[in-house]
Structure 1
């Protein structure tokens, strides 16, 4: 570098006299002011975030428990099969009829608490965990645009949540297939659904459950943006889910119960029938999407204006 070039490179007055393009070149940035080669869409790529989340002990233990749960249920039925008084009727009474019935029972018993908790765990951990580790401000300083950071975190959480929602019935089906065989799915009303149709119904049930839990995802992500404690965000979303289910049991609320986010949580069971009623399924889908859109919008709006101090 010549003496003249060094003077231009270090003298603020000389730099100020340069054109925008020349000034950016001297400072190592492009004409737009960004560092040369910087692309926002290349920051925090999805596969990087997924690999990071899959390496966490929390994720590994959760998936391990989902694999173990169907085995525990099968053992419970074997141990208690000699005492019919332990049967409570409905899906529980029909669980050992076939593999599809066992999958339906697994989804039914886990739908009240476990499945909402899984979704809340992944989405409630999006921003709050980074804030609790004091790494959020460094992520934004890379820089990762705020909207991209939240979008990529939410997308990774959605992939992990859906994988968990697929893993549980898949393992349950394999356990049920070995233990009870590939028979018809028998409903509490006495209908018998053939094996291929039952498999298709279970697949649609998993898709519906995933859509119905969008409201939990949106709420957990909103709480994750509001507070810096991951357990607070996760627990808050789960608490709202439990509260909604409690209110659902109060028949005095009448038609107001249909506005509760969990009112249509088990409408997927309508798919296990010879004559499917799509009314509640459509209402449940619409309700979840509206709640999810509202909470998601609030999360993005809050995060773009929030002061990041950790």
Structure 2
């Protein structure tokens, strides 16, 4: 009897190397790798559709200029649109100019606002967390991929526009509306600066969309809420009665990148705009992580 008892105790005793409550070999840092999340997001139909829209916009602009003739800015004000067909660099700058106010807001709100809320809408969020994927790692993976896709969208537009514009209007220097030119190498560097500033200025939209995505199970609510509040910011910036209070609105600095399209770039506006956007974004990202860490996930 004693031998049988000892054998029974040996078979029922837990393995000393297995941590309590977790599977053997489990590493929290290896759950939901960025590569896996990136592939999942790239395969989604909304990602492909957004990329197609941004890639087609330069072709639409070329057709519009071909039908309407040379762009005219009128006699009262000279602006970047007047030089749209001067060279491929000018065409790329104009493509950014016409899309910065609204079109580029949409991919940022979409990629950062849909990411967590869509998992909740599919009722797969709780299964991801039960895998188990730590909450903070899940949010970091979602946020990094969302921001990466947003940056890719902003790079895609000027790259396609530069290629299309160079074919349609020739490769040459960037003509400054107020006079003078920038050689192609300098112009390319300025376009990189413009894209970088546009990305930083849209971080506040990304933060707002990501925070809403952790608060709702409806992806459309998170994306639409971020876009709607961005539009409200643009409307408030147009209210001149607010005076200096408008300097605290991210929308007030959204076109500060135009100072880079000068013989000698002016950085003060872009620095102020980047500071305002980053400050709001950090607060919103912190709220998203803090709220999600305490949230009772049932979807």
Q: What's the TM-score, normalizing by structure 1?
A: 0.90
CA RMSD of aligned residues (A): 2.0
Are residue 160 (structure 1) and residue 157 (structure 2) matched?
A: no
Are residue 46 (structure 1) and residue 45 (structure 2) matched?
A: no
Cα drift, residue 142 of structure 1: 0.4
Equivalent of 2:43, from 55, 58, 67?
A: 55
C-alpha contact (below 8 Å) 2:119/2:125 kept by paired residues: yes
Match of 1:202 in 2: 191
- Comparing 171-180 with 188-197, greater Cα deviation is found at 188-197
Are residue 172 (structure 1) and residue 161 (structure 2) matched?
A: yes
C-alpha contact (below 8 Å) 1:120/1:217 kept by paired residues: yes
Alignment: residue pair count: 295
Match of 1:230 in 2: 219
Are residue 67 (structure 1) and residue 55 (structure 2) matched?
A: yes
CA distance in structure 1 between the partners assigned to 2:7 and 2:104 by the alignment:
64
Equivalent of 2:103, from 97, 105, 114?
A: 114
C-alpha contact (below 8 Å) 2:70/2:85 kept by paired residues: no
Question: Deviation per CA, 1:60-117, whole angstroms, max 9, x where unpaired?
Answer: 1111111111011111100110785999962222111111110111001111111111
Residue 127 of structure 1 aligns to a residue whose secondary structure is helix
CA distance in structure 1 between the partners assigned to 2:233 and 2:71 by the alignment:
34
Are residue 125 (structure 1) and residue 114 (structure 2) matched?
A: yes
Q: What's the TM-score, normalizing by structure 2?
A: 0.93
Are residue 182 (structure 1) and residue 177 (structure 2) matched?
A: no
Alignment of 1:1-310 (within 5 A): 4-7=6-9, 9-10=11-12, 23=14, 25=15, 29-30=18-19, 33-81=21-69, 90-310=79-299
C-alpha contact (below 8 Å) 2:71/2:81 kept by paired residues: no
- Structure 2: which 5+ residue stretches go unaligned? none
C-alpha contact (below 8 Å) 1:80/1:86 kept by paired residues: no
- Structure 1: which 5+ residue stretches go unaligned? 16-22
Structure 1 stretches of 4+ with a deviation exceeding 3 A read 2-10, 82-89
C-alpha contact (below 8 Å) 1:116/1:213 kept by paired residues: yes
Residue 252 of structure 2 aligns to a residue whose secondary structure is coil
CA 1:97/1:144 → structure 2, altered by over 3 Å: closer, same or farther? Answer: same
